[in-house]
Structure 1
């Protein structure tokens, strides 16, 4: 008979103030409550001798997951390290690919370039958060996924809907970094097909309210076909300190260097494209309870540098050709106050964001060019904008009913825009609840939407902000180790930005334009069983989407979405530290006016053996060697086998 080993590190909580779900399995007669902040806390040995051990059935103590944004809806778990840490998932992108609400489309391998869309939106309509801080790229959603973190330090990924104001038009993804345990050192080395090599080192130190998490990695490959080689390096650290007198201080800093061959990535007529990006980010957050009040403040900064070469290293380029250079700076600050009283929690807050772009392609002409650092080129264009959001919100609980509402006022160069959100949740029976919400949101055009003009594209600096009203209904049921959920949504979009194929004197071109109306609707289903012996977990999910627009013109993104998605994940303990994980998924993308996508299956598997501090594994992605495309003309990797070892001290 087993003993209680640790409390599950979930982003739910034992209590609402902690935002956790605590799952209790086998307990000794003495136990202690362990809290969770950005760090985990080591279990303390019992001071009493245990005379006997009593095995109990699993018990879920649940409370609302905390929403780190100005939205009022409850976040939904996309990924949990506790369940999927040994699955055949090597990158953050591979995790998102199998979620029913997410459409993850890759160009190349191992997440070197990926577009993240949620619930039928485009990659520009998804907000990307790291520990609740907005690091979305203002130039293009192509770069928003460039976070300098690896999967080993990601404890949870949450999907958040119902965000008001300027930001998450179709939803947000919040990536939460947490240590494996309070004090540890972890090293991983793996290699495989196509010259693949991955090395990673991470660790944490915890003492007297201080927690330091640090990680670094290198990932490279020769490529699975012509000009798909890549090199990626990540550095990241998160430091938290908490005390009664100071409150909570939460700081993070990261850097990413990325090079990759981009065979046909952005145009099938050019197989020798290349891209180099660098991303730097930092933030610091402070929170303190003073009586019935909680004071919150944060500041953040993100810089992204992008050098895009249509002709790699200039090979075969015409005279006068130069790469595209872009530097995007995003800075933000936020302050809010929460007041807890008899009728719930009331909040008031405001945030400010500044986006700025230097480029030799996008933006408005500068009076005087400035040099591109480290390159024989100059920036000739720039553009900046200021965004202010102010909001009021309130949450309350009446018996088994939870109510929440928010009002937001946003101001930018596009005008002043009011928005809001209402949410209600009702517990029908023990473990069974139903929730509904209504949200009004908006999105500003990216700099690419406004200014990208080439031989094949025409930008539009007169674009307006997109607006949407979203209705959502969902239900969740938990019984013992089983959990099922279903949700549906309907989004009415107006002034939707898309690229429309138009006739010009020089031939057909894609022009940035706006659709009067675009309605999107869908359903997501999920069933999970979490075992504790041979069968560790089984998860089955399904997602369905549809959309319609008010024009029959050929557009690039409005009707290019994942129509059906099915995913089955299974993990088993075989014998004495030997375990296996299998993921099977089926994808059926909606055909467009000029593109036919064939449905396809993907099968991934991993076999691992753990002895003491060491874990040895071998894994294969696309085990059946399926030929498939996320984008027309960009073939995805065939069967890819790799193996490695992990040491954790």
Structure 2
């Protein structure tokens, strides 16, 4: 190969996932002898991840090219303790029997998925012993958490084929990520392709998805649209879900990198017992539109970034299907600016963000003097954060610290995080971190009232300090990780039950009251390991285990704080045979803490029973054949036809079989 530069410079003979982030730290030109062509420029677009964690699934082939000069490009700064726990990887899960994001995250030891219906019709995402309201939800690093209720936060308009990975970001100080943040990252399967998937099965299930991408020079566009529906596995559990999503990334030589995404979701579902277990005739319809634009620009030792986002959510809830009871219309607006400076002592980041949340509702917020269309109540709030962060890498060590302030309607609060890492060898890494976090009461926490619930306008933010210790090993076909964490939470918000006795306030007797009278200390450990090879009969084995326990300082009856997933274990195996066939099995064991009120007779709330959550085991399988552009599969979930529930005694589907075809054209 011809030498372009005369002076002696480092030379790398192969483009490797393990160490390409070294380019950003050398501050000099690097000679590349072999380069993978077709790498997506989306690798630089995710704010929530380090460069070395970028998705490389868009790499198609290796070509010998003429030597070129390359400089490192800084990703956006992150207000966290630099801890990124993988929850889902598209390549690792390609052969497994998962069709929705909820099904994939069920296998992660850090996540508690509490479903109310099948195939992701309605579910809550909680992490590490927290509640669904205590989990921040990001899409490509943009915060799209809903301020009305965490029930709507993870309703993102993206399907599994567009999701390249999902990770848990630990230690984000500030508003929202009390227990952690789940970051969903999207990327095309290939630089240029067209993909169609169609599936059908029991209970009138049907699914159709059309997606594709186009990459031309510095521009890459990903688009997808899908429709999923079912008649339901029991009375009033039918659903339909439409998604549309587009992401465009363009890197201009002088203007910088622009990352735009937009999506729309429309779904409705029968809600048999979803929010009141004795009522089988509830129904809900939601519509969500979201969009964001991010800009990144490097100039010498400086890098700059800015982003703006918007999420609109409509929700209609019927106590009796066909008769609207509650309607909500929420707006969530966000903006962020930041700058990095790379110097001899490390990298220093300075930034700030702003969020505006507004709601129109039939029962949440302050009562309006004049109704706004259907809505009789409204409320709004403004929040902001400022932060300063510094990180330093030295040989096998790294350290980072951040400090800042949060500004909310409840006053100012200090923010901080500390982290450190040590890599004793190429295969091992040990890290430790501590951070402060908080979340504001949702509009539902503050205002929701019903014949069985009493609201509380005096709620204030929840606060916590979390300490985490982790270790990871990766060498050849083996990988393993272990994590331990302790979270000291105070001013925990929950719905508390008051018996109908004279000792309790008269207006609260026999009702749930929203309050924060306790501290909640949570301890957890997680283990995971995998064995992966590219050839042979046994291709992949993955095991994981998670344990959570809490120590509450108040003897009260709470609705959700004590219903955490105490034990969770999962095993996945993949076999390849007859050249083009594969068979994957996943088995998972769940043991939930707590109990719930059961209603033996549907529609009759006068007869109740208190039941504890029973452990259950789920076994899923996928048989798949693939050749060229065509792939056929048969999925069977809950092969043992286990009867189980995640929340309030709501029965979830038994055995459910589906089959599908995937056609992918492109390069």
The TM-score with structure 2 as length reference comes to 0.88
Residue 476 of structure 2: aligned partner: 480
Is 1:602 aligned with 2:602?
no
Residue 288 of structure 1: aligned partner: 297
Contact 1:501 1:508 in 2 (8 A): yes
Shift of 1:93: 0.4
In structure 1, C-alpha distance between the alignment counterparts of 2:285 and 2:219, rounded to whole Å: 36
Is 1:109 aligned with 2:118?
yes
Shift of 1:430: 2.9
In structure 2, C-alpha distance between the alignment counterparts of 1:544 and 1:67, rounded to whole Å: 33
In structure 2, C-alpha distance between the alignment counterparts of 1:159 and 1:484, rounded to whole Å: 17
Residue 630 of structure 2: aligned partner: 614
Shift of 1:515: 2.8
Shift of 1:426: 1.0
Residue 435 of structure 1: aligned partner: 431
Is 1:630 aligned with 2:609?
no
Contact 1:67 1:73 in 2 (8 A): no
Mean Cα displacement is larger for which, 533-542 or 483-492? 533-542
SS at structure 2 position matched to 1:634 = coil
Alignment of 1:230-379 (within 5 A): 230-314=239-323, 322-371=324-373, 378-379=374-375
SS at structure 1 position matched to 2:41 = coil
1:577-628 Cα deviation digits (max 9, x unpaired): 1111111000000124854011010000001101111001101011110000
Shift of 1:31: 3.4
In structure 2, C-alpha distance between the alignment counterparts of 1:136 and 1:198, rounded to whole Å: 27
In structure 1, C-alpha distance between the alignment counterparts of 2:78 and 2:387, rounded to whole Å: 11
In structure 1, C-alpha distance between the alignment counterparts of 2:634 and 2:142, rounded to whole Å: 35
In structure 1, C-alpha distance between the alignment counterparts of 2:335 and 2:165, rounded to whole Å: 24
Shift of 1:13: 6.4
Shift of 1:44: 5.8
Change (3 A) 1:598 1:469: same
SS at structure 2 position matched to 1:93 = helix
Is 1:395 aligned with 2:427?
no
Shift of 1:270: 0.9
Is 1:568 aligned with 2:571?
yes
In structure 2, C-alpha distance between the alignment counterparts of 1:157 and 1:400, rounded to whole Å: 27
Residue 56 of structure 1: aligned partner: none
Residue 491 of structure 1: aligned partner: 487
Aligned with residue 423 of structure 1, among 419, 422, 428: 419
In structure 1, C-alpha distance between the alignment counterparts of 2:272 and 2:590, rounded to whole Å: 23
In structure 1, list runs of 5 or more residues that go unmatched: 1-5, 20-28, 49-62, 315-321, 372-377
Shift of 1:428: 2.1
1:62-84 Cα deviation digits (max 9, x unpaired): x9x97863213221211111111
Contact 1:69 1:132 in 2 (8 A): no
In structure 1, C-alpha distance between the alignment counterparts of 2:514 and 2:76, rounded to whole Å: 34
Contact 1:247 1:286 in 2 (8 A): yes
Shift of 1:568: 0.5
In structure 2, C-alpha distance between the alignment counterparts of 1:524 and 1:133, rounded to whole Å: 27
1:122-175 Cα deviation digits (max 9, x unpaired): 000000000000000100000011100000000011110010111200001100
In structure 1, C-alpha distance between the alignment counterparts of 2:123 and 2:513, rounded to whole Å: 23
Aligned with residue 384 of structure 1, among 350, 359, 380: 380
Is 1:195 aligned with 2:204?
yes
Change (3 A) 1:561 1:14: same
Contact 1:548 1:559 in 2 (8 A): no
Q: Pairwise CA RMSD of aligned residues?
A: 2.0
Contact 2:81 2:435 in 1 (8 A): no
Shift of 1:576: 1.7
In structure 2, list runs of 5 or more residues that go unmatched: 1-13, 26-31, 44-57, 67-71, 501-505, 597-609
In structure 2, C-alpha distance between the alignment counterparts of 1:430 and 1:18, rounded to whole Å: 19
SS at structure 2 position matched to 1:165 = coil
In structure 2, C-alpha distance between the alignment counterparts of 1:137 and 1:541, rounded to whole Å: 30
Shift of 1:33: 4.4
In structure 1, C-alpha distance between the alignment counterparts of 2:113 and 2:236, rounded to whole Å: 22
Is 1:43 aligned with 2:61?
yes
1:447-502 Cα deviation digits (max 9, x unpaired): 01000110011111110110001010011112221111111000000101011001
In structure 1, C-alpha distance between the alignment counterparts of 2:651 and 2:24, rounded to whole Å: 45
Q: Which aligned segments of 4 or more residues in structure 1 are displaced greater than 2 angstroms?
A: 16-19, 33-37, 39-48, 65-69, 503-507, 591-595
In structure 2, C-alpha distance between the alignment counterparts of 1:186 and 1:261, rounded to whole Å: 31
Is 1:215 aligned with 2:224?
yes
Residue 664 of structure 2: aligned partner: 648
Residue 514 of structure 1: aligned partner: 516
Residue 15 of structure 1: aligned partner: 21
1:78-104 Cα deviation digits (max 9, x unpaired): 111111122100000001111100000
Shift of 1:46: 4.2
Change (3 A) 1:296 1:30: closer
Shift of 1:536: 2.0
Contact 1:333 1:353 in 2 (8 A): yes
In structure 1, C-alpha distance between the alignment counterparts of 2:384 and 2:33, rounded to whole Å: 51
Contact 1:449 1:459 in 2 (8 A): yes
In structure 1, C-alpha distance between the alignment counterparts of 2:361 and 2:339, rounded to whole Å: 38
In structure 2, C-alpha distance between the alignment counterparts of 1:7 and 1:323, rounded to whole Å: 58
Mean Cα displacement is larger for which, 33-42 or 537-546? 33-42
Contact 1:466 1:494 in 2 (8 A): yes
Change (3 A) 1:337 1:17: farther
Shift of 1:516: 3.1
